[in-house]
Structure 1
């Protein structure tokens, strides 16, 4: 009997890892445009300019993931492809999350608990798009989960290394500014138990000093206490309520199972801790309504903690029928909710769409015969286009522009800058009168329209150029766009799951 149990655990773990590998492969082509914002800062840091948007400009913090940006800088210095580095990093961390869920849930609730915790994680289709997106989403979720597991260990009377809880708070805060809140509940549980140990106090003081130094340096270097993006994206209470109402139904069974831990006295402390971690993680988003929340990206930050709560809810339940019901419902619900979530057709096809539009435009600008002093660009999608072009860029949405983020008129700012190239997003093959606060005709009088690049259904990028450089940009961008349009899903722009599945079938011989 004892020999069979490890074998069964290995079979279950092997099946879950297999699902994880297939899911990651299916989403591998996806990279979100925002990831290239971070990569541009990493590349500039690697080149010796510091973590800046434009090497010659005033420092602006147009990213919210300082540690993630820092991680990619050495790879940029080595000349490696940063999206690939980000994908493999998140893949390794994602496997780590799977291992943490299996181990922690199995220890408390046996195989059924491990199956629920790890099964919900691997069956949730958005998991894989967050792994391959290029952002810090999975890394941050791993830190939040590890923090919660540390708290569970403390409540169970098991030993914890004194350095780990305070360091997790620091890493969480450097991955995302609101991360400190997410890691605080578990840290508080640990410190209350460890407060009399000298080593614990020294670690806390050391991390406090490091965190304060990092925060003060950021404030001094960038001029504001929070990243520039917070002033653009956060603070909308109505949007926060909408976010809560849209996110809640996605995880109903896992939320209920986690709350059920509060009912029984034996699991109440653990349930209280996990609920506190989830609430602290979601608090910022619930009062602000984050934008760019593709496939519930911000909800994913505490999703593994909810998976753990669902698994731990099976602790001590002896009735097999009840255990089976408590296991099947969250597994099926999470799988169906993830596969039917809004925005999946857009994201599933986003990779080739971005390659044949944004990346192609950026690569075309890079090879255009325009002197360095005239390589200036204004753009709303401030990711792949500025990154691949290498041009000095005005982000007229304001993520990477302090003046616009704090209320300046984008039209006046772009008109004053008079960039050589202006890229305007549109839902039609025609240049819009206004977009994202930019009044196009006022911002670019006399500019030549050299390209209308089709990205996907109802999404175009229009390239406008100062007349003296129109021929050079038209030729270069036209060539790279033409090649990309022929290579990536040629002739297909519809937003359907079928297009994604057809692409995957094309990668498998004999299908």
Structure 2
């Protein structure tokens, strides 16, 4: 990436320094202690990948439970592999989540930098449009939340927009250097998370249409080859290693669920939460495209495509697991739509700055340059409109999901201290409890249980939370303890004579020889 986009820009440097301080404070708020020892944890879904990463680093392979056949209960292969590298470091498990979050700060700053550079590429005459894009991206709540809480969202976003930046370069230079860079970035995005192939596919189409104009097709075959190799390579590896082309989570969310049911739910959560964040931006963008003919070009339409394809994908799969569903959780755009939002920030910022510059030109001899103060106010106003509510709740109350994440981490440590290593633990939340308990675990909701994942739904569709079979998971497999209650589990267990509920909510099998019942029953909060 050329340094010309960042040279002599003290405002951008100041923003980066402010972002580092803000992100550091965000991480600071997640610290908790157990018996005087400092702990960190990621959001529960990220801890699922951490559990696989720990086992891989310890030499047991990509397995959910040590000694069992591999089942792919994660969809972020590249991110999980990076997590496994962190587990090779001489760092206590209580601190590895902190390393992931520190990495995520670097990723976020890189995302801010690349959207800044893309904006400069599209509107080279104004640093202010790029600065406005950077400000909005820096403090956009869903991007900050999902990235700093350990999900692969930030890394996929970075790789996609880096691919865009170098695809723009390739369209101009037609150089093999840029072709290989684009290809490698596309490969990295798909390996990190397979469904990024939708956004990457749009970038491939952009290069194809540019090639039609220039009548130079061969050089673009390089990124296409990387794209195909990544898709076929990942699917082949999954089949050879896990015995299934697609992740177990695909079967969990798709088998037995009609497209209509998924789309209906996807539309509901889309209009309840995501649309309020981007509709003001989109209104301005549409006006800008109508008024500014020069913005109606392939580069702009590629960015719009990156956003709308994520919206389409989100609706098709029924939204995401952490959307409220009448119970406030993240209360913001989901992970999928978050990946598309920087594209809107870029176009929105260009339209706004161009409009202000035009207004200033109306006055005779007026300098059209927009001041930093104006950009700061615009950025602040935009963030108030699209992100103020979740930020306010996070700063005054608590970061979404954090309270339950910490509770489950403490429960995992509590189980580790008061059970034998051969104990079998059943859980509904499959992140913190398995990781911190360091015990083999039955996944009651089927993310890492291929039997449950392929069963018919037990209730109406909700991504990853609509399949279970307690007769199988508890009645047949007989776990030593059930760590957490969810849904109808308490009712089912109350009918089982060989299980009893401890005062702290943990259920134990009465005949288990692997539990210190007296200590396990104590309060772990």
Q: Residue 144 of structure 1 contacts residue 305 of structure 1 at CA under 8 Å; is this kept in 2?
A: no
Distance 1:313 1:361, change over 3 A: same
Q: Residue 148 of structure 1 contacts residue 277 of structure 1 at CA under 8 Å; is this kept in 2?
A: no
1:211 maps to 231
Are 2:54 and 1:54 equivalent residues in the alignment? no
**Structure 1 residue 420: deviation in Å?**
0.5
**Structure 1 residue 327: deviation in Å?**
8.3
Matches of 1:137 and 1:6, distance apart in 2: 25
Question: Which piece of structure 1 moves more, 416-425 or 249-258?
Answer: 249-258
2:293 maps to 265
1:384 maps to 432
Q: Residue 231 of structure 1 contacts residue 406 of structure 1 at CA under 8 Å; is this kept in 2?
A: yes
Matches of 1:14 and 1:209, distance apart in 2: 38
Aligned partner of residue 34 in structure 1, secondary structure: helix
Deviation string, structure 1 residues 15-71 (Cα, Å, up to 9, x no partner) = 322331233123214421111100011111112222111122232111111110011
Equivalent position to 1:91, from 105, 108, 117 = 105
1:488 maps to none
Distance 1:335 1:158, change over 3 A: farther
1:36 maps to 47
Q: Residue 262 of structure 1 contacts residue 272 of structure 1 at CA under 8 Å; is this kept in 2?
A: no
2:405 maps to 354
Deviation string, structure 1 residues 109-158 (Cα, Å, up to 9, x no partner) = 51320232011112323443223211101111112222333344456668
- Please list, as runs of the form range in 1=range in 2, the aligned pairs for 1:273-352 lying within 5 A after superposition: 273-288=302-317, 289-293=319-323, 294=330, 295-298=332-335, 299-314=337-352, 317=355, 318-320=357-359, 331-341=380-390, 344-345=393-394, 348=399, 350-351=401-402
Q: Residue 112 of structure 1 contacts residue 327 of structure 1 at CA under 8 Å; is this kept in 2?
A: no
Distance 1:337 1:316, change over 3 A: closer
1:20 maps to 19
Aligned partner of residue 408 in structure 2, secondary structure: helix
Aligned residues: 457
Matches of 1:433 and 1:343, distance apart in 2: 34
Distance 1:386 1:476, change over 3 A: farther
Q: Residue 409 of structure 2 contacts residue 433 of structure 2 at CA under 8 Å; is this kept in 1?
A: yes
Q: Residue 233 of structure 1 contacts residue 291 of structure 1 at CA under 8 Å; is this kept in 2?
A: no
Matches of 2:392 and 2:252, distance apart in 1: 22
Question: Which piece of structure 1 moves more, 125-134 or 417-426?
Answer: 125-134
Aligned partner of residue 293 in structure 2, secondary structure: coil
Are 2:206 and 1:176 equivalent residues in the alignment? no
Matches of 2:82 and 2:245, distance apart in 1: 22
Aligned partner of residue 70 in structure 2, secondary structure: coil
Q: Give me the TM-score of the superposition, normalised by structure 1.
A: 0.80
1:504 maps to none
Aligned partner of residue 424 in structure 1, secondary structure: coil
Deviation string, structure 1 residues 384-431 (Cα, Å, up to 9, x no partner) = 1011112111111111111111116521222111001112335xxxxx
Equivalent position to 2:179, from 162, 165, 168 = 162
Q: Residue 424 of structure 2 contacts residue 441 of structure 2 at CA under 8 Å; is this kept in 1?
A: yes
Aligned partner of residue 178 in structure 2, secondary structure: coil
Are 2:492 and 1:439 equivalent residues in the alignment? yes
Aligned partner of residue 62 in structure 1, secondary structure: coil
Distance 1:244 1:68, change over 3 A: same
Matches of 1:164 and 1:110, distance apart in 2: 27
Q: Residue 208 of structure 2 contacts residue 217 of structure 2 at CA under 8 Å; is this kept in 1?
A: no
Q: Give me the TM-score of the superposition, normalised by structure 2.
A: 0.78
Are 2:477 and 1:417 equivalent residues in the alignment? yes
Structure 1: gaps (5+ residues): 427-431, 453-461, 486-511
**Structure 1 residue 261: deviation in Å?**
5.4
Aligned partner of residue 484 in structure 2, secondary structure: strand
Distance 1:151 1:424, change over 3 A: same
Matches of 2:79 and 2:348, distance apart in 1: 29
**Structure 1 residue 360: deviation in Å?**
1.5
Matches of 1:467 and 1:307, distance apart in 2: 57
Deviation string, structure 1 residues 238-292 (Cα, Å, up to 9, x no partner) = 1110232121121223323444554333221222111111122232111122222
Distance 1:278 1:206, change over 3 A: closer
Matches of 1:216 and 1:127, distance apart in 2: 31
Q: Residue 64 of structure 1 contacts residue 229 of structure 1 at CA under 8 Å; is this kept in 2?
A: yes
1:363 maps to 413
Are 2:255 and 1:227 equivalent residues in the alignment? no
Q: Residue 258 of structure 1 contacts residue 275 of structure 1 at CA under 8 Å; is this kept in 2?
A: no
Matches of 2:247 and 2:100, distance apart in 1: 21
Equivalent position to 2:264, from 238, 242, 245 = 238
Question: Which piece of structure 1 moves more, 181-190 or 253-262?
Answer: 253-262
Equivalent position to 1:120, from 133, 136, 145 = 136
Q: Residue 76 of structure 1 contacts residue 82 of structure 1 at CA under 8 Å; is this kept in 2?
A: yes
